[in-house]
Amino acid sequence: MGTNSRDLERYLRETPLLDFGAAPIQALVDRRGWHSLAPEERLAAVYDFVKNETPLGYSARERISATDVLKDGYGQCNTKSILLMALLRSVGLPCRFHAFRIDKRVQKGVLPWLVYVLAPNELGHSWVEVRHGGRWIILEGAILDRDYLEGVRRRFPGNESPFCGYAVAADDLQETRDQWRGDDTYIQHKAITQDLGVFDCPDDYFAAHASNIVGVKGWLWRHYFYALANRLVRQTRCWPRSVLTN
């Protein structure tokens, strides 16, 4: 991959999914004053917004625009990657989409039982890579919000060994590398089974690869199961408090 100014322009372009020119995204960027920040502060602010102010939640569809993710107010790996890329590009930070296959065991406990059983053994996964400080930095840690991850830790107190489940795949559940500190962040990378390569934008990825759940399973997911998955997410985020009254 080239890294001069002209080559990086391709990682700043707007696309149908990365619709950062839309009014809702422009209004958010202006309201937060991100353009006035230094590049690293800009990156940190956008990362925190997508990580913690756009919490983990399962979208009815994966192939949706950044403005739709913003409207939903939540997302999983692929949809949060779309929003993160759109916001980064909107403030002039070049970024790209890196796609993988991931062991479905990472979703055990957070997907409804029937969905988990019927899902293929490997699922689509992605993270965003941003060009900063002369190199590409991985931003996988943005998938899980702080409150959700703390809920998982309360659910499994004292667990430090390799952990896989509840949307986490890491060497140490108590000491994950998900916080922005100017370097790569991770939260599910230990479950990766196949590297599908780097794409300029998520539009190119979805043109080449199908969504995780299609056909009848996809219909059931969109009309029923995704809401159940989000209830499990809320329960985990609030663990050990009951969420039945929420």
pLDDT one-digit tens code per residue, 81-130:
999 999 999 999 999 999 999 999 999 999 999 889 988 899 999 999 99
φ/ψ (deg, to 5) at 223: -100, -10
199 touches 95 (CB < 8 A): no
Tens digits of residue pLDDT in 130-150: 999 999 999 999 999 999 999
In this prediction, residue 5 carries a pLDDT of: 67
Q: Which domain holds residue 219?
A: 5-237
Confidence of residue 221 (pLDDT cuts 50, 70, 90): confident
Question: For residue 232, what are the β-bridge partners?
Answer: none
Report which secondary-structure segment, H or E, holds 224.
none
What three-state secondary structure class fits 74?
A: coil
Q: What is the pLDDT of the chain when averaged over all its residues?
A: 92
3-23 mean pLDDT: 90
Question: Strand runs (DSSP E) across the chain, as ranges?
Answer: 95-103, 122-132, 135-138, 163-165, 168-170, 192-199
173 touches 159 (CB < 8 A): yes
φ/ψ (deg, to 5) at 12: -120, 0
Higher pLDDT: 6 or 13? It is: 13
Residue 246 domain-assigned (yes or no)? no
Residue 73 domain-assigned (yes or no)? yes
DSSP letters spanning 44-57: HHHHHIIIIIS-B-
Residue 245 domain-assigned (yes or no)? no
CB count within 10 Å of CB 98 equals 21
Answer whether residue 182 shows pLDDT above 50. yes
Q: What percent of the chain has pLDDT above 90?
A: 79
Which residue shows structure tokens 């997907």? 111
Residue 21 domain-assigned (yes or no)? yes
Residue 89 domain-assigned (yes or no)? yes
165 touches 178 (CB < 8 A): no
Answer whether residue 4 shows pLDDT above 90. no
Answer whether residue 48 shows pLDDT above 70. yes
Q: Name the DSSP letter for residue 141.
A: G
Least confident stretch, 28-32, 175-179, 215-219, 231-235: 215-219
Residue 231 domain-assigned (yes or no)? yes
User: In CATH, what number is assigned to the domain containing residue 168?
Assistant: 3.10.620.30
In angstroms, the Cα distances linking 226 to 4, 63, 160, 197, 219 are: 42, 15, 30, 28, 10
Contacts of 191 (CB under 8 A, 6+ apart): 102, 103, 105, 106, 125, 164, 169
Residue 243 domain-assigned (yes or no)? no
Number of domains in the chain: 1
232-236 mean pLDDT: 94
Residue 109 domain-assigned (yes or no)? yes
User: How open is the CA angle 5-195-140, to the nearest 5 degrees?
Assistant: 65
Q: Residue 222, CB half-sphere, CA atoms under 13 Å: how many? A: 13
Nearest alpha carbon to residue 207 among 84, 63, 103, 8: 63
Tens digits of residue pLDDT in 56-80: 999 988 899 999 999 999 999 999 9
